[in-house]
C-alpha cells in the first residue's frame, strides 16, 4: 500500500508550533509521512488560534479552500481527511459543525493526544459527521504524547499550559484552561531527548511560563528559577529562553537567573500591554506601569546587557488620548528592542467585549500606527548599534537566496549570511555588517 501523507498548517503562538510538532510525531507514529503540499496530503490539519478576530476568521476561509481541494482529489479517487485542532475548536465547537460540516474531526488544544483513536475512527468511516472533542480532560496530554522524533538546533519545550490571570480581553483562559505545570523530571527528560537529537537552544513555553510550579522527584513544588538552574546543567545545551512571562510573577529568584546562568539569553519578552494604570486595571492586569518599570530596573541590574520585548494593545475600551500617551511614555522609557502591537479585538465571552466605551476603529488604527512607528524606531536604533560587533548566531534555516542561511542572535534578531549548509543547526560567530528594522546581515568571522 502506498504511504499516506499529512499536511499541518499552524496559526498563532509558539505553543501552537510546539503542539503541531507533537501532532506531526503522532501522525508519523501512525505511519503517515509529511506531504510536500496540501494537495498531496491524505490528511490536512489546521492548528488554529482564537486570540483575535482576524486569526479565527482566517481558519474558516482556509477550510473552504481545503474542501475544494478535497473535492478535486475525490475526482482522482483519493480520500482526504480534514481536521481542526487548537484554540478555535475549544471556543467555537458549535460554529465549526455549522459553518464547516465537511470537517471530519475537531479537537481542542488539551485533547489532541487522542488523535490516533479519532483518526482511526474516521479512517474506518465509523463516524457520521464531525467528531468533536473539546473536553478539559482529567488526564494530562503530556503523559500520552510521543517524544519528538527529530529536533532542529532550536527547540520548543512546553512546561506549563493555561492561564489563571483572566485579563478581561483575552480568550486564553477559556481555550487552554486553568494553569497546569509539568513535573520537573518530565521536563528534564524531554530536554535530554531534544539535546540528543541536536537541540542547542531550548525555549521553555507556557501561556504564563513564569508561574511554573512543577513537582520535583520528591513531590516538592518548584518554580521556574529552579527548573532553569537544573536545565543549565545539561551537557550540550548552549542557549536557554522562556516565554511568555507575566510581570507580576517575575520574582527575585527568577530575576537572579539572568545574573547567574550564562546560557540564559539576555533577552526577555515581558508583555506590559499598556502604560496607563487606569487601563491596566480595566484589563485586570495585576501590575501598574510603575511596577513594570521597577522589574526592568532589577533585570538590568542583574544583567546590564538584557534587551526587552513586549506586547501592546491599543484601543482597549475606555482608552483616551491621555491613556494612549502613557503607553508611548513607557516605550520611551524602556526602549524595547522588539515588540508586537495589536488593535484591541472584541472577543465574545470576555468581559471587555461588553464594556460600554468601545474605541472607534479609526482611532485604533491611528494609535497603532503611531505606536508602531515609535517601536520600530527603537528596534532600528538597537539593530544599527549592533553593526561592527561580533555575535553568536544559531542558524535555523536556508535563506531565500541560494547559499544564504538565516539564524538568530542572542537577542532574537534575524540575521542572514552567505554560508554553506554545513553551518545549519550550529552556533557560529558572525561579524555584523548591516542592519534594517527587521533583520541583520553579516559575514562569517575570519572571512
Ligand atoms: N500568554 C501570553 C500571550 C497571550 S496572547 C501573554 O500573557 O502575554 C499574545 C498577545 O496577544 C497578548 O500579549 C496581547 O497583547 C494580545 N491579545 C490578547 N487578546 C487580545 C485581544 N482581544 N485583542 C488584541 N490583542 C490581544
Ligand atoms: Fe491572556 Fe492575560 Fe493570560 Fe496572557 S496573562 S494569556 S493576556 S489572560
Ligand atoms: Fe492563539 Fe491559543 Fe496561542 S488563542 S495565541 S493559539 S494559546
pLDDT category at 69 given cuts 50, 70, 90 is very high
Question: Which protein residue has the closest C-alpha to ligand 3 atom 3?
Answer: 13
CA distance 172 to 49: 10
pLDDT, tens only, 2-24 = 789 999 999 999 999 999 999 99
| Pair 401, 426: CB distance under 8 Å | no
Residue 306 pLDDT: 98
Ligand 2 centroid from CA 425, angstroms: 32
Mean pLDDT computed over every residue of the chain = 94
Measured CA to CA, the distance from residue 85 to residue 115 in angstroms comes to: 10
pLDDT at position 30: 92
| pLDDT: which is higher, 337 or 54 | 337
Higher pLDDT residue, 324 or 140?
A: 324
**pLDDT on residue 380:** 97
What does the DSSP assignment read for 229-261? Answer: HHHHTSTT--EEEEE---GGG--HHHHHHHHH-
Q: What is the pLDDT of residue 127?
A: 59
How close is the Cα of 207 to the center of ligand 1, in Å?
A: 10
Residue 146 has pLDDT above 90, yes or no: no
**DSSP annotation of 178:** S
Distance of CA 87 from the midpoint of ligand 3 (Å):
6
Q: Which residues lie across from 341 on neighbouring strands? A: 312
Comparing 54-63, 161-170, 304-313, the range with the smallest average pLDDT is 54-63
- pLDDT of 149 reads 75
In the block, cell 460554529 appears at 95
Residue 130: pLDDT band (50, 70, 90) is confident
Between 132 and 417, the higher pLDDT residue: 417
Q: Is 181 in the pocket of ligand 2 (CB under 6 A)?
A: no
What is residue 332's DSSP assignment?
A: H
pTM, two decimals, is 0.94
Whether the per-residue pLDDT at 252 is higher than 80: the answer is: yes
Q: Is the CB of 173 under 6 A from ligand 2?
A: yes
Q: What pLDDT does residue 128 have?
A: 63
Say yes or no to pLDDT of 77 above 70: yes
Residue with grid cell 482611532, as numbered in its chain: 363
Q: What is the pLDDT of residues 384-415, one digit of tens each?
A: 999 999 999 999 999 888 889 999 999 999 99
Question: Residue 131 above 90 pLDDT?
Answer: no
Mutate to test the pocket of ligand 1, among 177, 309, 342 (most ligand atoms within 8 A of CB): 342
Write the residue with the smallest CA distance to atom 2 of ligand 2. Answer: 167
Residue with cell 547567574: 260
86 lines ligand 3 (CB under 6 A): yes
CA of 349 to the centre of ligand 2 (A): 15
CA dihedral 201, 202, 203, 206 (to 10 degrees): 180
| 370-376 long-range contacts, CB within 8 A, separation 24+ | 370/324, 370/328, 371/312, 371/314, 371/324, 371/327, 371/328, 371/331, 371/341, 372/341, 374/328, 374/331, 374/332, 375/312, 375/331, 375/336, 375/339, 375/341, 376/437
Least confident range from 87-96, 204-213, 364-373: namely 87-96
Q: Quick one: pLDDT band at residue 133, thresholds 50, 70, 90?
A: confident
4 DSSP assignment: P
Whole-number pLDDT of residue 1: 58
pLDDT tens profile 370-390: 999 999 999 999 999 999 999
Ligand 1 pocket: which of 16, 57, 271, 292 to mutate (most atoms within 8 A of CB): 271
Q: How far apart are CA 394 and CA 186, in angstroms?
A: 26
List pLDDT tens digits, range 176-235.
Answer: 999 999 999 999 999 999 999 999 999 999 999 999 999 999 999 999 999 999 999 999
User: Which ligand is in closest contact with the Cα of 175?
Assistant: 3
What is the Å distance from ligand 3's center to 51 Cα? Answer: 6
Amino acid at each position: 500500500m502506498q504511504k499516506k501523507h499529512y499536511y499541518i498548517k499552524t496559526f498563532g503562538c509558539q505553543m501552537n508550533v510546539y503542539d503541531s510538532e507533537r501532532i506531526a510525531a503522532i501522525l508519523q507514529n501512525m505511519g503517515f509521512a509529511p506531504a510536500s503540499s496540501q494537495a498531496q496530503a491524505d490528511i490536512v490539519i489546521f492548528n488554529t488560534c482564537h486570540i483575535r478576530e482576524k486569526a479565527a476568521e482566517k481558519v474558516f476561509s482556509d477550510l473552504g479552500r481545503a474542501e475544494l481541494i478535497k473535492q478535486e482529489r475525490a475526482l482522482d479517487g483519493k480520500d482526504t481527511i480534514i481536521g481542526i485542532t487548537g484554540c478555535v475548536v475549544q471556543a467555537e465547537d458549535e460554529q465549526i459543525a455549522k459553518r464547516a460540516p465537511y470537517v471530519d474531526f475537531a479537537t481542542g488544544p488539551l485533547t489532541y493526544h487522542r488523535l490516533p483513536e479519532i483518526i482511526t475512527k474516521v479512517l474506518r468511516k465509523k463516524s457520521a459527521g464531525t467528531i468533536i472533542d473539546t473536553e478539559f480532560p482529567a488526564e494530562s496530554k503530556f503523559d500520552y504524547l510521543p517524544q519528538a522524533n527529530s529536533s532542529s538546533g532550536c527547540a520548543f519545550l512546553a512546561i506549563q499550559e493555561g492561564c489563571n490571570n483572566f485579563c478581561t480581553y483575552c480568550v486564553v483562559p477559556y481555550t487552554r484552561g486553568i494553569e497546569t505545570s509539568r513535573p520537573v523530571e518530565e521536563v528534564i527528560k524531554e530536554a535530554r531527548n531534544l539535546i540528543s537529537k541536536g537541540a542547542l537552544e531550548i525555549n521553555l513555553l507556557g501561556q504564563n511560563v513564569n508561574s511554573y510550579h512543577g513537582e520535583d522527584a520528591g513531590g516538592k513544588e518548584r518554580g521556574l528559577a529552579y527548573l532553569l538552574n537544573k536545565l543549565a546543567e545539561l551537557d550540550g545545551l548552549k542557549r536557554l529562553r522562556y516565554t511568555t512571562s507575566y510581570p507580576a510573577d517575575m520574582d527575585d529568584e527568577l530575576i537572579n537567573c539572568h545574573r547567574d546562568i550564562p546560557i540564559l539569553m539576555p533577552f526577555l519578552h515581558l508583555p506590559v500591554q499598556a502604560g496607563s494604570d487606569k487601563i491596566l486595571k480595566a484589563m485586570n492586569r495585576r501590575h501598574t506601569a510603575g511596577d513594570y518599570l521597577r522589574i526592568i530596573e532589577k533585570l538590568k541590574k542583574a544583567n546590564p546587557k538584557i534587551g526587552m520585548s513586549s506586547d501592546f494593545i491599543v484601543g482597549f475600551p475606555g482608552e483616551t488620548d491621555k491613556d494612549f500617551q502613557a503607553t508611548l511614555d513607557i516605550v520611551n522609557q524602556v526602549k524595547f528592542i522588539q515588540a508586537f502591537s495589536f488593535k484591541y479585538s472584541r472577543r465574545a465571552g470576555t468581559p471587555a467585549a461588553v464594556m460600554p466605551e468601545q474605541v472607534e476603529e479609526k482611532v485604533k488604527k491611528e494609535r497603532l500606527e503611531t505606536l508602531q512607528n515609535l517601536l520600530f524606531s527603537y528596534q532600528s536604533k538597537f539593530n544599527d548599534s549592533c553593526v561592527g560587533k561580533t555575535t553568536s548566531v544559531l542558524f535555523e534555516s536556508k535563506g531565500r537566496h541560494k547559499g544564504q542561511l538565516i539564524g538568530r542572535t542572542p537577542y532574537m534578531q534575524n540575521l542572514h549570511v552567505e554560508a554553506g549548509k554545513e553551518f545549519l543547526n550550529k552556533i557560529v560567530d558572525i561579524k555584523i555588517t548591516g542592519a534594517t528594522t527587521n533583520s541583520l546581515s553579516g559575514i562569517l568571522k575570519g572571512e
